[in-house]
Structure 1
């Protein structure tokens, strides 16, 4: 299979679209920001609509509403089109969806793609199950890391599944103070963490996600100067930085 038919697009926030032939795979697509306003504030710019034609599938990293947009997912929820980690499947079924659950490291074919969930670490602990997704297709291998904290499984993921052409990495390093949480340290990866994760994963390039759209101090405070720091960290570690706006294509080298 040739590589020139694989198309990647960064959607709003942490959303990513991967297309190959007639199959469209969305990871954490977000279209509706209204439920996020009490904590994360209103988005700095409107969220663009997400195309969901026939042949669209979706993968969910976890159930926080900035990654799991129920109304959008329900719009494409034909049997076999929604993938998730096994522990969150009951909640999706209660919400009226029919997900395809997968265990960690269990691959599944989705048209021309192979999708595999691997470990990720959410700052709220075990009551907020989260995974990263590896997607292979068109001779390429990428990983979408959700909105993870730094964790020690990067090297195991690289050993068992890498190397990667591209890692989509969260970079906003948010300081979060809501619902009984009161952190004074970042609870998701900073730009520097994200580049170090890409290095550990054996990724050639890293695309920054999960930044720039929400900033609502003191409950949700994003890191300053994210893009400059991301570029500097990437240059220091020999990683190709990818910084593109919502809706833009992501080009693979």
Structure 2
């Protein structure tokens, strides 16, 4: 890992996460502009928190996949155009981002990239409809976290745990969303982890803290429907499994076990 540096961790809106150390910060799946989401996910239930960087801090944005609630093209173009700031992605989507007007630095699966005190690595994740998706590991000498955008349950948890674990924080979607979209046969299978599945993923990953993301901001039945009481179910399931679990609000710091 990189040299010792104090890291602050904040949950942004929806699936967004921010880690700041010194003059560098990493943001994953940061979301600011929501107009493109209205037809499918509906409008957000509340305003987006401020995600502007303090003066002198360089922003390095990463995205897990191209769905517009994780890939805010306007925000990414803004970040990519800021001096000293960058956008990072996994290799298969770099040309798509370029077509959106976003210049990105691609990384192959498992390839580390050094950014100030951070090391950032893309690893396996799985999307409900088969779209290309990764999870991002971000680590320093004192902290190792993993962020899953809106993954479903899959068989790579154990491989990730063996190669990269344990983790101080695992950011996991918990909404258990049910979807209805043209061109996709409707099912009753969730398109993201359920609260209980998120806890089980944290168990496998040997995460000291499981942090809930990707819930309680969008709900647009019948197209995009969040399951009931997901926050409560997540915290209760974690307690039953002996996992330290947190569900901070938009823009709030992430309290994690040390």
Give the CA deviation at 1:139: 1.0
Structure 1 residue 250: deviation in Å? Answer: 0.5
**Secondary structure at 1:245 match in 2:** coil
* Alpha-carbon separation, structure 2, partners of 1:228 and 1:198: 17
Q: TM-score when scaled to structure 2?
A: 0.94
Consecutive unaligned residues in structure 2, runs of 5 or more: none
Equivalent residue of 2:183, what SS? coil
Change (3 A) 1:80 1:93: farther
Partner residue, 1:26:
27
Match for residue 9 of structure 1? 10
**Shift in Å at residue 180 of structure 1?**
2.0
| Residue 2 (structure 1) shift | 4.4
Tell me, yes or no, if the aligned pair for 1:80 and 1:99 is still in contact at 8 Å. no
Distance in 2 between residues matched to 1:33 and 1:115, nearest whole Å: 27
Contact 1:206–1:239 under 8 Å retained in 2: yes
Instruction: Report whether the alignment pairs 1:111 with 2:108.
Output: no
Partner residue in 1 for 2:169: 166
Equivalent position of 2:204 in the other structure: 200
Segments of structure 1 that go 5 or more residues without pairing to the other structure are none
Q: Secondary structure at the residue paired with 1:116?
A: strand
Equivalent in the alignment of 1:68: 71
Residue 252 of structure 1 and its aligned partner are, at CA, apart by 2.4
> 2:33, 2:103 → 1: CA distance?
21
The CA distance in 2 between the partners of 1:71 and 1:89, in whole Å, is 16
Q: Secondary structure at the match of 1:25?
A: strand
Query: Alpha carbon RMSD of aligned pairs, Å?
Result: 1.3
Find the aligned partners of 2:33 and 2:141 in 1 and give their Cα distance.
31
Between the aligned partners of 2:247 and 2:190, the Cα distance in structure 1 is 21
The residue matched to 1:249 in structure 2 has which SS?
coil
2:222 and 2:141 map into 1 onto residues whose CA distance is 44
* Alignment of 1:223 onto 2:227: yes
1:50 maps to 2:54: no
Whole-angstrom CA distance in 2 between matches of 1:75 and 1:160:
35
CA distance in 1, matches of 2:76, 2:53: 9
- 1:175-196 deviations in whole A, cap 9, x for unaligned? 0001222222211100000000
Aligned partners of 1:174 and 1:188 also within 8 Å? yes
Cα distance change, pair 242–169 in 1 and its aligned pair in 2 (3 A) = same
Aligned to 1:132: 135
CA contact (8 A) 1:104 1:118 kept: yes
State the alpha-carbon separation in 2 of the partners of residues 48 and 164 from structure 1.
26
CA drift of 1:95 comes to: 1.8
User: Is contact 1:20–1:138 with CA below 8 Å preserved after alignment?
Assistant: no
Q: Distance in 2 between matches of 1:240 and 1:56?
A: 29
Deviation at 1:167, TM superposition (A): 0.2
